[in-house]
Amino acid sequence: MCWPARIWVVRIWVVRAVRTKRLMDQPQWMGHDRGMTVRWGVAGPGPVAGKVLRDLAYVPNAVLTAVGSRSAERAEAFAAAHAASAGHGQVPTAHGSYRALLDDPDVDVVYVATPHPHHRALALAALAAGKAVLVEKSFTVTPAATREVAAAARAAGRFAMEAMWTRFCPAVVRLRDMVADGAIGEVRAVTADLGVRHPVDPAATQSYRPEWGDGLLFHLGVYPVSFAQMLLGAPEGVVAHGIVLESGVDVEESALLRYPGGRSALLFASLRSPSPGEARVLGTAGWIQVPPRFHYASRIVLHRDGHDPETIDAPLTGAGYTHELAEVTERMAGGHIESEIMPLADTVAVQDVLGEIADQLGMRVIEGPAELP
């Protein structure tokens, strides 16, 4: 092995050793037994929850024990359809109210999958009931509400995390490791797009209702913003431009995020225009391409000056939600109250950017109440 290669290997080993020590030195504990089975409940048994929780079957020591909905019939149907996630052929308990779900002693963590404006009340109530929470992204629809939930989780000493599954995809984990190891030098810019062609009728305002958290930003726009935050941190400036319907709901936007030292992120999302769904991380010594669709990546391509492109395949388990569910389960079993990969500080930083974009576009943002009805 030549000297440059040896230096590169030694440097990678040292960086990884330091990173491992930091993780070991910074645990936050809840007092759970590491070998425990983590019992899951879900609030909001809709299509998103259905897709996510089918992957719970791939997670060791995790079972779905309860379903909560404002409709008893909907809760019962969801519970019957997800018996496989309950283990031992059991059917999860169906509750006809969110309060009954939170009062269930057989639930350790609640997956909040309701419309975004309802996240606040459910997360606060779950934490007050002694439950941990996995809150679907976007975490809330305002920065203030996100800070409120984060503060409540820390005060209660309970685990809380945003369900940003992208960060836990094995390919994205590899990307972060390569960036940390200096594979592309200093990161200078991030680009990401995520567009779909969705029927948008400006006259049909009932199709997009701000009181339900409808529109682009809180559903798809959060992905490029969170990806940039993961790599560059919180920006010092945001410039946004886009299209907002008369109802106050957004359907397309682009944003330029400015960071110290001249670094930047260029982001685009749309419900009107299909786009590749690709991301790139650009550095001083090369770049990493995340082929479509970047928000559930299973492959990355490393481009370095003077070298042939290197493709790294890292398949998803199940539909890809397995990895975030495993993170919550393992952290809960280990007694941690936050994820090192998706900490609450990152969620707050992402929500600040979303709030700035919403303000600049003139969106009508309606946050839900702090208490369950």
pLDDT digits (tens, 9 = 90+) for 157-168: 999 999 999 999
Neighbours of 47 (CB within 10 A): 8
DSSP state of 332: H
Angle, CA of 261, 141 and 173, to the nearest 5°: 55
**What pLDDT sits at residue 20?**
37
**What pLDDT sits at residue 208?**
75
**What pLDDT sits at residue 209?**
81
**What pLDDT sits at residue 241?**
98
At 305, which amino acid appears?
A: D
Residues near 348 by beta carbon (within 8 Å), at least 6 away in sequence: 143, 146, 147, 150
Kindly give the parts of the chain with pLDDT less than 70: 1-35, 86-89, 199-207
| Residue from 361, 337, 30 nearest 218 by CA | 361
**What pLDDT sits at residue 198?**
79
Q: Six-digit token pair at 208?
A: 């997009």
Separation CA 263–CA 31 (nearest Å): 41
